[in-house]
Copies of this chain bind each other. A is one copy, B any other.
Amino acid sequence: MVTDSRNRRAAQNADLRPSRGTPEATVARLPVYLRALTALAEQGVTTASSEQLATAAGVNSAKLRKDLSYLGSYGTRGVGYDVEYLRYQISREIGLTQDWSVVIVGIGNLGQALANYAGFTTRGFRIAALVDADPDRVGDRIGPHTIKDMADLERLIDRHEVSIGVITTPASEAQGVADRLVGAGVTSILNFAPSVLTVPAGVQVRKVDLSIELQILAYHEQRKANLDGAEMPPGLAAPEPAKEAAS
C-alpha cells in the first residue's frame, strides 16, 4: 500500500516532539564546545561570548549559538555564557554526568594506545576491561589494567555493566566481536577495524578509519597538484576507456 505522497511537508513532527530533537551535526560538535569551555575555565575565564567560544572551538558564532539553542537558553543577552554553567549543561546533555563502562577488544598496538590514551579516561568513561584473543597476551598489564581472556567477554560485560565496546581487532575478527558484544548487551560500538559492521537496529556504531582519512587528504592533495600544474579543461581529463579487464 502506498502512502499517498501528498502530505508533502505536512505532519511535521514539530508538534509531537519538538524539544528533544538535537540534530546529529550539533551533537557531534558539543564535545568540541565542551573542550573549549574547559580550556577557558582553566584560564580563569568565567564568562564567554558566542564569538569567543566559537573562535576557541573553530566554528562560526552563528552556528554555535544555534547549536546551543537546542539545549535551551543558557546564555544571557548582552553578556554571554557563564563558562561553568554551560559546561555543566553540555556535560549533562551528552551524558557525562554519569560514568560509562567501556571494554576494549583487541589489544594490539592501537588497543594499547587507546588504553593509555589520556582523553579516554576523561571524566565520564571508565575502562572496565581489556580483552584479547591471544593467550600469550592475557595477563599482561597495560597501566593499571590486566588483559583478560576473550572467553570471558560476556561475563565481563555483564559484571561491569558495559554499554560501550571498542573494537581494535583485525578486520577479519571485527564482525564476530561485534556480534558477541551485541549479544552480551552492548548497545554502542566504536569500530577501529577497517570493516563494515552489521548490527541490529538500536545499536549505535561509529567508525574511525585511519586509512580513509589519509585517502581523503590524498584526494585533495591531488586536486591541488592538478590545479597548480596544467589546469585541464573538464571533460578532457579522462583518456579513452581502454577497459581491458584482467581476465
- Write the A180-212 contact mask toward B (1 if CB under 8 angstroms, else 0): 000000011110001011100010101011111
**Are A245 and B188 neighbours in the complex by a CB distance under 8 Å?**
no
A121 to chain B, nearest CB (A): 9
Closest B residue to A124 by beta carbon equals B218
Contacts of A218 in B (CB 8 A): 94-96, 100, 124-125, 164, 188
**Are B82 and A245 neighbours in the complex by a CB distance under 8 Å?**
yes
Contacts of A85 in B (CB 8 A): 241, 243, 245
Contacts of A246 in B (CB 8 A): 46, 84
Q: A27-B219, A164-B218, A187-B221 are in contact. Are A113 and B109 (CB under 8 A)?
A: yes
Closest B residue to A114 by beta carbon equals B210
A57 to chain B, nearest CB (A): 7
Closest B residue to A202 by beta carbon equals B224
Residues of A within 8 A of B (CB-CB), count: 80
In the assembly, how many copies of this chain are there?
2
A150 contacts B by Cβ under 8 Å: no
Closest B residue to A188 by beta carbon equals B217
- Write the A76-99 contact mask toward B (1 if CB under 8 angstroms, else 0): 000000111100000001111010
28 contacts between A and B (CB under 8 A): A19-B234, A19-B237, A20-B234, A31-B209, A31-B211, A31-B212, A46-B245, A46-B247, A56-B196, A58-B196, A58-B197, A84-B246, A93-B219, A100-B221, A109-B112, A109-B113, A110-B113, A119-B194, A119-B210, A120-B210, A122-B211, A124-B218, A187-B221, A188-B220, A190-B213, A190-B214, A204-B221, A208-B213
The contact of A187 among B34, B206, B210, B224, by CB within 8 Å, is B224
A107 to chain B, nearest CB (A): 11
In angstroms, Cα B72 to Cα A234, docked, is 11
